[in-house]
């Protein structure tokens, strides 16, 4: 899962993302703003075959919460 998640982040935010930390969050990575967040969520859904509810999307604002949610998928 880790490699796939990193690949998704790189496809959305660029190859400058070389590693993911749990503390990485919206506004901490260049481009991870509200528009970038929507792109990230859609890319994660496509890569992992999951669908997030609107309320859930709003809470997935850091790498730790994204990892935790994907572990439940």
Domains and CATH numbers, the chain: 2-72 (1.10.1200.10)
Residue matched to tokens 């490699």: 3
Quote the pLDDT of residue 54: 92
pLDDT at residue number 73: 76
Q: Give percent of the chain above pLDDT 70.
A: 100
To 5 degrees, how large is the angle CA 1–CA 28–CA 14? Answer: 60
Give the pLDDT score at 38: 95
**What's the pTM?**
0.91
pLDDT of 22 reads 95
The SS3 of residue 62 is strand
Ramachandran quadrant class, 42 (left: phi over 0; alpha: psi -120 to 50; beta: rest) = alpha
Phi-psi map region of 30: left, alpha, beta (phi>0 left; psi -120 to 50 alpha) = beta
pLDDT < 70 positions in the chain: none
């Amino acid at each position: 899962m880790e490699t796939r998640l990193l690949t998704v982040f790189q496809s959305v935010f660029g190859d400058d993302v070389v590693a993911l930390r749990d503390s990485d969050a919206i506004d901490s990575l260049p481009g991870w703003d509200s528009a970038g967040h929507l792109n990230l969520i859609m890319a994660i859904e496509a890569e992992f075959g999951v669908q997030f509810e609107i309320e859930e999307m709003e809470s997935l604002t850091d790498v730790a919460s994204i990892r935790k949610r994907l572990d439940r998928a």
